[in-house]
């Protein structure tokens, strides 16, 4: 201890004090602070860049998921549209079929009615013609049979016989 | 602790490669150990003897061990000149002298070469100064030094702000730190994503290390930013000074008590001035304990607050001083054991052991910088911590 105190040199202490002050303050201003700040800034930059990359990755994943979702949705929509179209088509065919049938039925009924009336007309005309022909034939027959007087008298007689006056 | 692990790996590798040398040297090992012990003993004994002898008979011939001890003591102490080599036989020193700045009835500035390593008395404006055992004393024209009973000089010392070897090393290291980190700061000028190139690239992870391993875990994410300049300054200053102390430049800044005291006082001041109400409350009126205990705990806590920086100061000082002493001691094996092992053997053993130890010291250099910064941030963290929970703990 005695030797330590004896070895203590105030001059050296003084210079060390001054030099340490200079190193701490001057170097602090021009080196330590810029260095520490730069290291920190770089670390922050790296951390930020990593975070940004992570974010971008997450966003990409999100985007991909969104795309997939959209694709699934589009596919479902397409399927729904196709199904609807098919239904509409079936409906239309069914409708058309029903309509056509009804139309046909109606046409057939109309035709039947026309046929009926035509038939009736034809029958009545036939009847008329037959009656007129029968009259003509009867006329002609009568003309032929009643050409002479005898025949005529016979007939009258016959008729008279038939009509018995009671 | 990645760096630590790596250095441990390195250490393991060194030990592994060295093991073959060990087996070769095993026959000599016991001998060596014994002689090391003997040397240490004799160093201690001769040191005491030398201390006494030195003052009474300054011309007495020094033994080898004494010389080694002197050299180590000299290395550990501060100096007024930067000496790289010295030639004892011719009494020549190779290096350069540094300016001496004294405040003693006005400012007195001169080069330390005027002292001629303590051989001459310097006269400035009617005042006489003498360099004696690494310190400058006021004296008279003849350079008389008076001693007290314990052989300490009683001469008055002038206020000494000299650029000593340690101050010069400190300035050099500071300049190095400025160059290094202003360069690193420049790379971020064009945006934070500019990566540093070259040497600065090695500095950035260390800055991050200080921040992520020391500041944030101890102080907390919200408050650490304010203390980063201090923690970074202290960490790199200590680390670099420790490392450069291992180079052949051979300075011992972090191993001088003045420097570690200054660093510890900084930590102490910062801790006290950034402390919040909770911290003071825990010191003076410990919550959650009975009143008699509160009265008992207050002095203990106050003492604790003072011991913390004291331990910081002594830990760094002692670790570095011990490291330097042992490295020098091992290098000294070359000279002390030249006769016992032969020149080649002594050089080999000394070289091997000191190389091994320098690797250990590189680890210690980092470790002590780490521990000092770590504990500083821990103390600061304790002072700024929020105690939002109930006060039943402690």
Residue B28 lies in a domain: no
A121 near B CB under 8 A: no
Question: What rounded mean pLDDT belongs to chain B?
Answer: 78
Residue B84 lies in a domain: no
Apex B159 CA angle, B154 and B162, nearest 5: 115
Residue B386 has what pLDDT?
77
Residue A64 pLDDT level (bands cut at 50, 70, 90): very high
Domain boundary among B132, B163, B194: B163
pLDDT at B4 > cutoff 80:
no
Residue B96 lies in a domain: yes
Domain boundary among B144, B163, B182: B163
pLDDT per position as a tens digit, B141-180: 777 777 777 777 777 777 888 888 888 889 999 999 999 9
HEC letters along chain B: CHHHHHHHHHHHHHHHHHHHHHHHHHHHHHHHHHHHHHHHHHHHHHHHHHHHHHHHCCCCCCCHHHHHHHHHHHHHCCCCEEEEEEECCCCEEEEEECEEEEECCCEEEEEHHHHCCCCCEEEECCEEEEEECCEEEEECCCCCCCECCCCCECCCCCEECCCCHHHHHHHHHHHHHHHHHHHHHHHCCCCCCCCCCCCHHHHHHHHHHHHHHHHHHHHCCCCHHHHHHHHHHHHHHHHHHHHHHCCCCCCCCCCCHHHHHHHHHHHHHHHHHHCCHHHHHHHHCCCCCCHHHHHHHHHHHHHHHHHHHHHHHHHHHHHHHHHHHHHHHHHHHHHHCHHHHHHHHHHHHHHHHHHHHHHHHHHHHHHHHHHHHHHHHHHHHHHHCCCCCCCCCC
Q: Are residues B265 and B332 in the same domain?
A: yes
Chain B contacts of A45, Cβ < 8 Å? 192-193
Residue B335 lies in a domain: yes
Q: Are residues B200 and B274 in the same domain?
A: yes
Measured CA distances, A109 to A95, A104, A117, A123, B387 (Å): 21, 8, 12, 21, 108
Measured CA distances, B249 to B112, B172, B359 (Å): 19, 11, 17
Q: Which domain holds residue B178?
A: 166-384
Residue B356 lies in a domain: yes
pLDDT per position as a tens digit, B275-297: 888 888 888 888 888 888 888 88
pLDDT per position as a tens digit, A4-61: 677 778 888 888 999 999 999 999 899 898 888 888 888 899 999 999 999 999 999 9
Residue among A12, A27, A37 whose CB faces B177 most closely: A27
Residue A105 pLDDT level (bands cut at 50, 70, 90): very high
Rounded to the nearest angstrom, the minimum Cα separation between B1 and chain A is: 20
pLDDT at B355 > cutoff 90:
no
B209 near A CB under 8 A: no
Residue B203 lies in a domain: yes
Rounded to the nearest angstrom, the minimum Cα separation between B158 and chain A is: 11
pLDDT at B8 > cutoff 80:
no
A3 near B CB under 8 A: no
Residue among B161, B189, B192 whose CB faces A41 most closely: B192
CB contacts under 8 A, B 225-244 vs A, are 225, 228-230, 232-234, 237
A64 near B CB under 8 A: no
Model-level pTM? 0.69
Domain boundary among B137, B163, B189: B163
Residue B106 lies in a domain: yes
Rounded to the nearest angstrom, the minimum Cα separation between A58 and chain B is: 26
Q: Are residues B285 and B144 in the same domain?
A: no
| A contact test, residue of B262, B270, B376 with most A CBs within 10 A | B262
Q: Are residues B302 and B192 in the same domain?
A: yes
Q: Are residues B327 and B361 in the same domain?
A: yes
Residue B113 has what pLDDT?
78
pLDDT at B32 > cutoff 50:
no
A146 near B CB under 8 A: no
Q: Are residues B216 and B154 in the same domain?
A: no
Residue B38 lies in a domain: no
Segment B238-242 shows an average pLDDT of 93
| Axis crossing angle, helix B224-245 with helix B338-384, rounded to the nearest 10 | 170
Total count of domains within chain B: 2
Residue B27 pLDDT level (bands cut at 50, 70, 90): very low
| B contact test, residue of A38, A40, A48 with most B CBs within 10 A | A38
Residue B379 has what pLDDT?
92
ipTM of the complex: 0.74
Residue B17 has what pLDDT?
42
Q: Are residues B128 and B197 in the same domain?
A: no
Q: Are residues B154 and B241 in the same domain?
A: no
Residue among A13, A27, A41 whose CB faces B233 most closely: A27
Residue B264 has what pLDDT?
93
Question: What rounded mean pLDDT belongs to chain A?
Answer: 88
pLDDT at B134 > cutoff 60:
yes
CB pairs under 8 A between A and B: 121
A39 near B CB under 8 A: yes
Segment B221-243 shows an average pLDDT of 91
Q: Are residues B142 and B252 in the same domain?
A: no
């Amino acid at each position: 201890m005695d030797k330590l105190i004896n070895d203590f040199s105030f001059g050296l202490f003084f210079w060390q004090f001054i030099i340490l002050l200079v190193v701490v303050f001057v170097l602090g201003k021009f080196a330590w602070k810029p260095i520490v700040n730069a290291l920190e800034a770089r670390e922050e930059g790296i951390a930020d860049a990593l975070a940004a990359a992570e974010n971008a990755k997450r966003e990409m994943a999100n985007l991909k998921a969104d795309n997939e979702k959209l694709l699934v949705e589009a596919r479902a929509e397409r399927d729904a549209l196709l199904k609807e179209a098919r239904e509409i088509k079936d409906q239309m065919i069914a409708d058309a079929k029903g309509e056509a049938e009804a139309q046909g039925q109606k046409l057939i009924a109309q035709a039947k009615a026309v046929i009926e009336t035509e038939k009736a007309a034809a029958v009545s005309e036939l009847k008329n013609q037959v009656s007129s022909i029968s009259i003509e034939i009867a006329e002609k027959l009568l003309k032929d049979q009643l050409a002479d007087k005898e025949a005529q008298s016979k007939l009258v007689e016959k008729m008279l016989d038939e009509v018995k006056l009671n | 602790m990645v760096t630590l692990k790596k250095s441990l790996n390195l250490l393991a590798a060194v030990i592994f490669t060295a093991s073959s040398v060990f087996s070769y040297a095993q026959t000599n090992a016991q001998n060596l150990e014994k002689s090391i012990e003997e040397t240490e003993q004799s160093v201690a004994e001769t040191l005491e003897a030398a201390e006494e002898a030195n003052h009474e008979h300054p011309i007495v011939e020094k033994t080898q061990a004494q010389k080694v001890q002197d050299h180590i003591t000299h290395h550990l102490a501060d100096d007024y000149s930067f000496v790289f080599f010295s030639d004892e036989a011719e009494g020549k020193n190779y290096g350069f002298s540094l300016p001496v700045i004294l405040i003693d009835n006005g400012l007195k500035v001169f080069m330390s070469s005027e002292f001629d390593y303590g051989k001459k008395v310097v006269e400035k404006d009617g005042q006489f100064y003498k360099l004696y055992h690494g310190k400058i004393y006021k004296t008279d024209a003849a350079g008389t030094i008076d001693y007290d009973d314990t052989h300490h000089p009683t001469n008055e010392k002038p206020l000494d702000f000299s650029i000593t070897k340690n101050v010069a090393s400190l300035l050099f290291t500071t300049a190095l730190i400025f160059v290094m980190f202003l360069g690193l700061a420049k790379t971020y000028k064009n945006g934070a994503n500019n990566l540093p190139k070259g040497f600065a690239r090695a500095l950035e992870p260390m800055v991050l290390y200080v921040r992520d391993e020391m500041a944030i875990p101890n102080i907390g994410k919200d408050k650490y930013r304010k203390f980063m300049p201090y923690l970074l300054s202290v960490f790199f200053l200590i680390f670099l000074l420790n490392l450069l102390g291992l180079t052949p430049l051979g300075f011992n800044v972090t191993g001088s008590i003045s420097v570690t005291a200054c660093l510890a006082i900084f930590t102490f001041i910062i801790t006290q001035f950034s402390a919040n109400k909770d911290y003071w409350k825990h010191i003076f009126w410990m919550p959650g304990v009975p009143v008699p205990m509160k009265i008992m705990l207050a002095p203990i806590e106050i003492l604790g607050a003072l011991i913390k920086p004291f331990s910081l100061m002594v830990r760094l000082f002692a670790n570095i001083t011990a490291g330097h002493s042992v490295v020098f001691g091992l290098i000294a094996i070359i000279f002390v054991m030249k006769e016992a092992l032969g020149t080649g053997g002594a050089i080999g053993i000394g070289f091997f052991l000191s190389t091994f130890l320098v690797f250990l010291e590189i680890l210690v250099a980092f470790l002590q910088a780490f521990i000092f910064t770590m504990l500083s941030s821990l103390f600061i963290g304790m002072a700024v911590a929020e105690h939002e929970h109930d006060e039943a703990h402690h």
